[in-house]
A and B are shown apart, each in its own frame.
Chain A
Amino acid sequence: MSGQVLDGFLTLASPGTFLHLIAGFLLGLAFGAIPGLTATLAIALLLPFTFGMEVKDALVMVAAIYMAGIYAGSITGITLNIPGAPSGAITTLDGHALMKSGQGTQALGVSAFSSTIGGLVGVVVLIALAQPISALALLFQTPDKFSLVLLAVVTVTIVASGSLLKATLAMVIGLMISTVGIDPMVPLGRFDFDSYHLIEGIGLLPAVIGLFATCELIAQAGVPTRLAQAQTVAKVTRPKRRDFLPDRKLIKEIGFLTYAKSSTIGVLIGMLPGGGASMASFIAYAEAKRASRAPDKFGHGSYEGLAASESANNGMCGGAVIPLLTMGIPGDAVTAIIFGVLLIHGLVPGPALLGENFVTIAPMFAALFVSAIFVFLSVLAFGPLYLRLSQINRGLLYAFIGMISMVGVFASSFSFFQMWMALAIGVLAFLLRTFSYPVVPALMGVILGPYLEEFLRRSLIVSEGDPTIFLRSPGSLVFLLMTAMFIWFLRIRPARLRKRAEAG
């Protein structure tokens, strides 16, 4: 295996592949740093282009976007108090406090250094654990697979913020979209309304573009520029590149233990379905505060807090890829879209993927590793530019997103109908967002729906309609218990504690 991993690194030495890595990294930085844009959107917009790419180039580019995008969420959080992505929200607490006290360049430097450490730890764990977990997952039978997919769908739904009912309904809508077209098991068209267009089904690409890119364009058209820039409280300065090198004393102060613990928390949370960068950074931050000698500084400019949240959210990247590749469970929106990239290239994420295609996937591991290093280098190269990123012209930005979304859907399907579908799903997603329905569960429904249905029906055919098959299979029972455990710990218990606190 180590030879294949090494081959993955050697693949990056090819100029074409390396260019894809650089392009993906820059795209991830830009999308992560600009408020309103995310790594998820960047990968969604990249989807149509991957049709014309070699698999390894597509995976390398996606990996680079992922690592850079998660890091970059903290850049405008630190400089302008506007996190570019949700994962940068916790970093903003201390990062922006440091910025206001005149330590912005050091805050950016420490943030990049910590992200690199977390990112590297995550990739090392990914390389070490991916194949053993895959080997274990190969033993899964159909009922086990159903319960596993159910676990993924349920957890992403329950971790969505806001109303559980709305998250569930959004997930059901996604699942319904996935049922349109030819039935996966018998040659019969469903929900086609006698239209030959609908019998093909709604493509994954129009669904992803609609849910994220088109929806974003429509939503941003409703946000006046003065409001979009209202939170800009920091004046942009013009420092030198060397100012972004983190001070050794600061790194010592933060301590090895903080880095090790926060990175590990990030990896572990990344491995949980529905974990995500925001949850990783929040938990690592809370733990760092609990263990700190100066907990009072947290929230008012603590480098320890900044390092903890940044190590964790980039450590999450490697961790989140483990369940995706080994069991076919995308834990969050980005990995859900990476799932789509793999599918587009005929690679089905799951237990057999690494056994049969390790050579194809290895460059992705290498790209994550190299991108983690690039994160630190990027702050030295682009530090001064980061301070001006949020001032990009919105007309240029959203005209570009509008064009890429629609033309991208056409170029990948040669179908005007799929363009209409992307727009329709975009409008639906905008309405869902407007009425506080989360969109990510809908995406999970669209992607995992076909698997959920197929495994459910196959299991019931084998058991002749007896649903207890899901309780009789040990693997399935474990996943169902895990589902129940997640529901208890992530929804029921916090709600009870909240009620008790309100009553007391």
Chain B
Amino acid sequence: MPKILTGQIVFACGLAILNSIYASQIAQMELPFANGEPGPAFFPMILCALAYLCIAAIILSDLRDSLSESAPRGAGALLRVEVLGPILAITLTVLYILAFVYTGYAVATLGYTFLIALFFNYESSRQWLGSALKALATALGITLSGWLFFVKLFDLYLPIWEL
């Protein structure tokens, strides 16, 4: 039996939910041409309608593919990606922004670049010690060069130390 609910359909449904949240804000605005002019709601309304149309067409097309006997199994399903790496990268970046707020550039950047480099190095070599040493050198180098670039060379403000 063909699989109906593919990753593509789930993602398109997610976009439809986001579009509905967008639409909920349009509902709070004055109707277009209420005072003779297109107004702030006019363009977003067109976008919203266009988004719903595209989403509906994408879902229908994917449903047709998944129900079709001739379609190859898994066609249109979620492309095969390594899931752990992206989740880790997102989590580390979330932690980086939080650390940036509470500890400042130096500590946050040192930790973030160390962990990102450690992940890529370990994934490549499968050796903890070598990867950690390389990552430490990378983190020190990047943190220092970032400070030199942003603060010293381009004279931009960074909260260096907030502890």
Contacts and interface: CB of A to CB of B under 8 A. Distances in A.
A179 B45 CA distance: 11
Interface string A456-476: 110011001100000000000
A237 interface: no
Interface in B98-134: 100-101, 105, 109, 112-114, 116-121, 123-124, 131, 134
B78 A434 contact: yes
A53 B153 CA distance: 10
Nearest to B19: A176
A187 to B, nearest CB: 10
Q: Which secondary structure dominates where chain B touches chain A?
A: helix
Nearest to B125: A225
A399 B113 contact: yes
A179 B43 contact: yes
B61 to A, nearest CB: 7
Contacts of A172: 47, 50-51, 54
B120 A225 contact: yes
Contact of B61 (A165, A188, A403): A165
Interface in B58-76: 58, 61
B85 A175 contact: no
Interface string B133-157: 0110011011100100110011111
Contact of A399 (B22, B29, B42, B142): B142
Given A223-B85, A407-B158, A465-B33, A402 B58 contact: no
A400 B43 contact: no
Interface residues of B, number: 73
B82 A224 contact: yes
A427 B156 CA distance: 27
Interface stretch (A31-39, A98-106, A297-305, A408-416): A408-416
A488 interface: no
Interface in A426-442: 426-427, 430-431, 434-436
Contact of A395 (B54, B100, B119): B119
A222 B113 contact: no
Nearest to A427: B90
A419 B97 contact: yes
Given A190-B29, A402-B96, A404-B146, A49 B154 contact: yes
Given A411-B157, A461-B37, A165 B54 contact: yes
A460 B36 CA distance: 10
Contact of A402 (B7, B36, B116): B116
Contact of B58 (A169, A396, A419): A169
Interface stretch (A134-142, A212-220, A244-252): A212-220
B33 to A, nearest CB: 6
B44 A179 contact: yes
Contacts of B57: 165
Given A222-B83, A396-B141, 14 more contacts: A48-B156, A166-B58, A168-B54, A169-B15, A179-B47, A185-B40, A214-B93, A393-B120, A402-B96, A402-B113, A411-B157, A423-B90, A423-B93, A456-B42
Smallest CB-CB A-B distances: 10 pairs: A52-B154, A221-B85, A395-B117, A395-B120, A221-B89, A225-B124, A399-B113, A169-B54, A411-B156, A222-B82
